[in-house]
Amino acid sequence: MKKLLPQSLLRTTLTMMLGALMLTLHAQPRSRFWSLMTFLHQNACNSNPIITCPPDFVACPSASLNPSNTGFATGAPGGPNCSPPVMSYHDDTISVGPCSGAIELRRTWTATDPQNPNLTSSCLQKIILSDKESPQLNNCPGSIDVKAGSDCKAHVTWSAPTVTDNCGKLFLTVTHISGDAFPIGVTTVTYLAEDLCGNTSSCAFSITVSGTCCKTKPKIQCPADFSGCPGDSLNEEHTGKPIVVQGDSSCNQPSISYRDSVLSKGPCPGALNLIRIWKAADPYDSTLFSSCTQHIEFKDQIAPSITGMPSNITVNPSVDCKAMVIWTPPVSTDNCGKVKLTSNFVPGSLFSEGVNTITYTASDDCGNFVTASFLITVTPCCHNQPLIQCPLNFTGCPGTSTEPLVTGTAIATKPNPGCGTPVVSYTDSVVNYTCPGSKMLFRKWKATDPNDSNLVAYCVQLIELKDVTPPVFNACPANITVNTNTIDCKAVVIWTPPAVSDNCGHVQLTSNFAPGYAFPVGTTTVNYTAQDDCGNTIQHIFTITVVNTCCNTKPKIICPPDYKGCPTEQCGTNISGTATAEPGAPGCPQPILSFRDSLLNIYSYCLNAKKFIRIWRATDPNDPKNFVECNQLIDLIDKTPPVWSYCPPDITVQANGECEKAVTWIPPTATDNCGGMVQITSNYVPGQKFPAGTTVVVYTAKDPCGNSINHSFRITVLGAGLQIDCPQDIVVERTDPYLPGAYVNWSHPKVTTCGSCQDSLKGFIYMGTWNGSKYYCSKTTETWTAARAICSSLGGYLCVINSADENTFVASKLMGGTAYIGLHDSNIEGFFEWVDQSSVNYTNWYAGQPNNANGDQDFVEMLPDGTWNDQYANTYREFICEIPCYTISQIEGPPCGSLFKCGTTKITYVATQGQYTDTCSFNVTVKCNNSKYCESRAQNCGFMWIKNVSLANINNTTGSSGGYAYYPTPCGELKWGKTYDLCLTPGFSNNVYTVYWKVWIDYNADGDFLDADEFVAYGYGNGTLCGTITLPWNCQCTMTNTRMRVSMAYGGYPGNSCCIFSYGEVEDYCININKNTLVPDVTSLLRISLDAVSLNGHADPNVLLDQEPLTRLFPEPSIELIPNPASEIVQVNVISAEKAMLRIYTADGLQVYETAVTQSSYLLNVSEWSNGLYFVTLEDSHNSKVVSKLSVMH
């Protein structure tokens, strides 16, 4: 971080200097001011400072990067007028790693002139924290030769090598420990030292154990497998004995024993399946033994036999379509005696038409059985109507033949093979249309069974002969313009009539003019009409314009446009406009313009309002009879409504759970186009109370002529009658440090509402709930209007249906009844609307409905099948009330009972009742330990755990804690440089095991246990271990709140402070280390680092030592396959912990065998298995797994 002169201070300094100069300017002549400025300029510092970097720094990882450790740069003024520079630096990271604390930096030192920040000098310092040197192993033992004892082993001791490392802390592992027992032969002992950066060194020596003793297992040959009947003797004299000889001449005659492993009993009395495991053992060395297995089985697996089975039987049914059949039953025998014979039918049973299977089953006492069957076929009996399929509906032109050869023929088939071929016939129902040859036929096709006229089937085909398509013009004349070509100022015009065609034949073409007609001056419309025999017509229109080239035309006049204005007593041409006139042809004089008024109407309801025609005339001044007129309609009436000059906007208020809310607003104002007072009225006034939902406020402004305009705005009351209250914010602590949060539960929000929302109403049957509303069907009948009022009085409305699913729900509750729903068109015929003013997005009318029969059916009922019908106003029906109710749903955050992540999570609920909603929210905060410490734990602590930890004021006794626990209280109170007793005690469930301990203290509280001296103790044993630990003194530390980690593992030391191992436990403790004002307990501790203290007695003679050799907690799982390869029977011998599973898979991964291991040996019959490779797996509940390969070859 650069240490520079602050900009604010720099600005202040410059401002003060400038102020001093200005004071000098005012007090002295200008020449003296410039002299002063010149002096300052000549004496200013303009040279960069001089900087000298410290030498590059190289040290071990995690060394301090503070300049007090790595060195400071020095700076000097750049010139005689310069001040000592300000020194600063910043670091650029070149690389990090590969081990913790290893880093390479480029530190840039900068010297800056304090008066001029632009004058700087820089230099670079390289800082490297790394460890590339391997540890040093010294005094490695040489090779050792010893003699074996009577047990063919030798216990060997030696002095362990010493190890050092340039950067202190390291790990030492060894393949064997001094004092271990070694077998005859050569064993290599290897020591491996590894520091925190992965640098390793090793040394090895050999131990040779010589001697002679019996080392050969006895030989054993099992008797042949024995198979007998249930109840046979198990005596070895009956089942056979093995042949046994000693392994070699130096061995004694082996002893013989056996044990039986029962595989199964039953399924019948006396049935037994077992493995007899024979064992031949050296009498003096029980580890020298051989075993073999003999399979003994007492069983009956031969099924009975059935003879004399009847052959298949075919019979015809009687009049009831059934047949009685009699046959001779078969007989059965069994190799082991008693047989039970059963059947699904007995002779003389009645059988229906079709194929019936008669099955006999013979079974013995051991569950062996055999089945045999024969068929009884009863020929079909016809009793179904034929099947018929109509031809497609037919449409043709009038006069088309309706014979089936043209319109199609129905297809009939017999329903089953026992029926005859149906006879097809038809009848027609004819409806004649007005057009000749047009008609509609309903052709009813009939299929009749030839043997039973009562077996018939029908279908209907619609045949229509009609023409609804108008003719088509193929070519039509265009508009024509000609000059007058007759002496009477007309024009004779010739054109080609249009061509026309029709889809069904003959067309009649008519016109109002024919080619060659003499047309007057002006534009004349020619209209051609084409009509077919069924009255379908089409028109073509074009115009003929005759231009006047005569001189005896009338003047031309153009009236002013019709005038509509406000009522007034006089309406002159200056108000309503003036007509314009011009000569009818060149050479004619300018016509004279005049007008007169003709009164049409006086509007009595409005002063000075009237309607009249102003007749304008243009007259030839030379011929008063040559004139032309036009009419101007003048309507003096105000039909324009007032205009709003201000209107209130929509208003939304919160009722906060109240059923009504008073609302105020500024009333609107209006003006009128014709002046005068505007009367303003409204259906609501400011300050009035409004219920929940949206209310439309309507203002009406009316002028003196009765014109009015409405303005409406909506007042929406939210939360009125519906209020949801959430729980208070929840704050919990994470209790399981290996979860990313905590599981949190709460009570659901409470909802209050003003609406009717109960499960029962007097006089109604509760139908159920759909989409937040409850539905009730009346027990009595009412007219639609009365039903609507009753539902409204209950806080709801006649049922409104918006989807097919909702319609199906309501119809399913009618139980065959008919009931009114909330749809009607009583306001505008044909415009159906719901009682709640919602859009009609879905209908389900019965065929042909609504038909408004007799012009008076305006109200809708639901029929039993769910379709709708319009009904009369005076018809009584049951009716369905829909009462909007509230629903609660969570719209934000995980659900109740979920795992909430560390930190704060927002939970939001919404309550909905009809179109109204209200929401509430609360926060769930999970406080987690903000520790940066890595995870370390045991996967299983059911067999062993940390029972007691004692250090200073900590004396914590616990049970199994799931593999890990953190104890923040009491916090251990320690002091720098002091020595403390540390005792560790394991706990066991049943057996006692040797366990391995390591202890770390995070002295610098940086969230890890990787720094120098933080590995403080280790040891192994099966009881309490004690020793002393001494805290470092040289750090000049202040009070520190930190953590101690105690790891206890089975099978070897924990690899590091962050490892996860199989068995044992990890515990963390709070530690407070306080400043020690006294001298340290041991003066030799005034050094750079402390080594970890051994608690196992190797380094400290005061430590209690458990020398028990390491034993395995659970047996190593194993599989033995005999023989392998196998063709028929394979024996599978297994060794495993409890709750193990034995599975066999094909090479393609298909599982062919599975069993829970309950015995040590299994016999499998693989004679039916395909040739190939199989994988035999044994996996126990501790995730120990072994796989063997089995080859099946036939």
What pLDDT is attached to residue 20? 35
User: E strands within 836-915?
Assistant: 857-862, 868-872, 878-884, 886-892, 899-901, 903-913
Handedness of CA 446, 449, 452, 454 (dihedral sign): negative
Q: Which of 1060, 1097, 1090, 1056 is nearest to 194 (CA)?
A: 1056
What CATH number does the domain containing 367 carry? Answer: 2.60.40
For residues 942 and 1090, state if they share a domain: yes
- Read off the pLDDT of each residue in 484-496 and give the average, rounded to a whole number: 82
Report the C-alpha gap between 359 and 351 in whole angstroms.
14
Contact 536, 435 (CB under 8 A): no
What pLDDT is attached to residue 789? 93
User: Is the confidence at residue 663, as pLDDT, over 50?
Assistant: yes
> Is 725 domain-assigned?
no
What percent of the chain lies above the pLDDT cut of 90? 40
- Read off the pLDDT of each residue in 230-251 and give the average, rounded to a whole number: 85
The pLDDT tens digits for 315-336 are: 887 767 788 999 999 999 888 7
For residues 574 and 704, state if they share a domain: no
Report the C-alpha gap between 1032 and 1021 in whole angstroms.
27
Q: Residue 850, preceding bond cis, omega within 30 degrees? A: yes
For residues 1129 and 1055, state if they share a domain: no
Q: Could you list the residue range(s) of the whole structural domain that residue 444 is in?
A: 387-465
> Is 341 domain-assigned?
yes
What pLDDT is attached to residue 7? 34
- Read off the pLDDT of each residue in 578-593 and give the average, rounded to a whole number: 84
Q: Residue 1115, preceding bond cis, omega within 30 degrees? A: no
What percent of the chain lies above the pLDDT cut of 70? 89
User: Is the confidence at residue 31, as pLDDT, over 50?
Assistant: no
> Is 743 domain-assigned?
no
- Read off the pLDDT of each residue in 995-1002 and give the average, rounded to a whole number: 93
Report the C-alpha gap between 524 and 536 in whole angstroms.
26
User: Is the confidence at residue 1088, as pLDDT, over 50?
Assistant: no
For residues 869 and 947, state if they share a domain: no
User: Is the confidence at residue 1098, as pLDDT, over 60?
Assistant: no
- Read off the pLDDT of each residue in 770-776 and give the average, rounded to a whole number: 85
> Could you tell me which residues come within 8 angstroms of residue 240 by beta carbon, excluding any fewer than 6 positions away?
223, 224, 226, 294
Q: How many CB atoms lie within 10 A of CB 11?
A: 10
The pLDDT tens digits for 93-122 are: 888 888 888 899 999 999 998 888 889 999
For residues 945 and 1073, state if they share a domain: yes
Length of the chain in terms of residues written = 1194
**What distance, in Å, lies between the first and last C-alpha atoms of the chain?**
82
Last residue of a domain, one of 321, 344, 378: 378
> Is 92 domain-assigned?
yes
- Read off the pLDDT of each residue in 361-373 and give the average, rounded to a whole number: 88
- Binning pLDDT at 50, 70 and 90, where does residue 1118 land? confident
> Is 700 domain-assigned?
yes
285-298: b (≥16 Cβ within 10 Å) or e: beebbbbbbbbbbb
User: Is the confidence at residue 184, as pLDDT, over 90?
Assistant: no
The pLDDT tens digits for 280-297 are: 998 767 788 899 999 998
Report the C-alpha gap between 579 and 598 in whole angstroms.
16
Contact 938, 964 (CB under 8 A): yes
pTM: 0.26
The pLDDT tens digits for 878-887 are: 999 998 777 7
What pLDDT is attached to residue 652? 92
Bridge partners, 1048 (sequence order): 997, 1065
**At residue 139, what is the residue type?**
N
- Binning pLDDT at 50, 70 and 90, where does residue 771 land? confident
- Read off the pLDDT of each residue in 210-214 and give the average, rounded to a whole number: 73
Helix 7-27 vs helix 30-42: crossing angle, to nearest 10: 140
Average pLDDT, the chain: 84
For residues 1131 and 1172, state if they share a domain: yes
- Binning pLDDT at 50, 70 and 90, where does residue 1060 land? confident
The region of weakest confidence among 242-246, 907-911, 1084-1088 is: 1084-1088
What pLDDT is attached to residue 404? 94
Report the C-alpha gap between 246 and 218 in whole angstroms.
4
Helices first, then strands: H and E counts in the chain? 8, 90
What pLDDT is attached to residue 549? 66
The more confidently predicted of residues 793 and 24 is: 793
For residues 1067 and 941, state if they share a domain: yes
Burial of 1120 (0-12, 13-18, 19+ CB in 10 A): middle
Helix (H) or strand (E) holding 23: helix 7-27
For residues 1076 and 1019, state if they share a domain: yes
What CATH number does the domain containing 203 carry? Answer: 2.60.40.10
> Is 1164 domain-assigned?
yes
The region of weakest confidence among 684-693, 1007-1016, 1129-1138 is: 1129-1138
Last residue of a domain, one of 821, 850, 884: 884
- 757 Cα distance to chain centroid: 33
The region of weakest confidence among 16-30, 92-106, 465-479, 648-662 is: 16-30
User: Is the confidence at residue 753, as pLDDT, over 80?
Assistant: no
Last residue of a domain, one of 210, 232, 254: 210
What pLDDT is attached to residue 1038? 57
Report the C-alpha gap between 311 and 1056 in whole angstroms.
82
For residues 960 and 1086, state if they share a domain: yes
For residues 279 and 341, state if they share a domain: no
What pLDDT is attached to residue 853? 87
> Is 1078 domain-assigned?
yes
For residues 967 and 992, state if they share a domain: yes
Q: How many domains does the chain have?
A: 10
Query: From the CA atom positions of the chain, what is the Rg in Å?
Result: 56
The more confidently predicted of residues 480 and 1074 is: 480
- Read off the pLDDT of each residue in 1140-1163 and give the average, rounded to a whole number: 86
Report the C-alpha gap between 324 and 378 in whole angstroms.
10
For residues 17 and 153, state if they share a domain: no
User: E strands within 1079-1140?
Assistant: 1093-1094, 1118-1122, 1129-1135
What pLDDT is attached to residue 433? 87
What pLDDT is attached to residue 338? 79
- Read off the pLDDT of each residue in 704-729 and give the average, rounded to a whole number: 86
- Read off the pLDDT of each residue in 674-685 and give the average, rounded to a whole number: 89
What pLDDT is attached to residue 594? 92
- Read off the pLDDT of each residue in 764-774 and give the average, rounded to a whole number: 86
What CATH number does the domain containing 835 carry? Answer: 3.10.100.10
Q: Could you say which DSSP state residue 948 is in?
A: E
User: Is the confidence at residue 513, as pLDDT, over 90?
Assistant: yes
> Is 523 domain-assigned?
no
Q: Which of 967, 1147, 1111 is nearest to 1044 (CA)?
A: 967
Report the C-alpha gap between 833 and 845 in whole angstroms.
14
Q: What are phi and psi of 472, to 5 degrees?
A: -130, 130
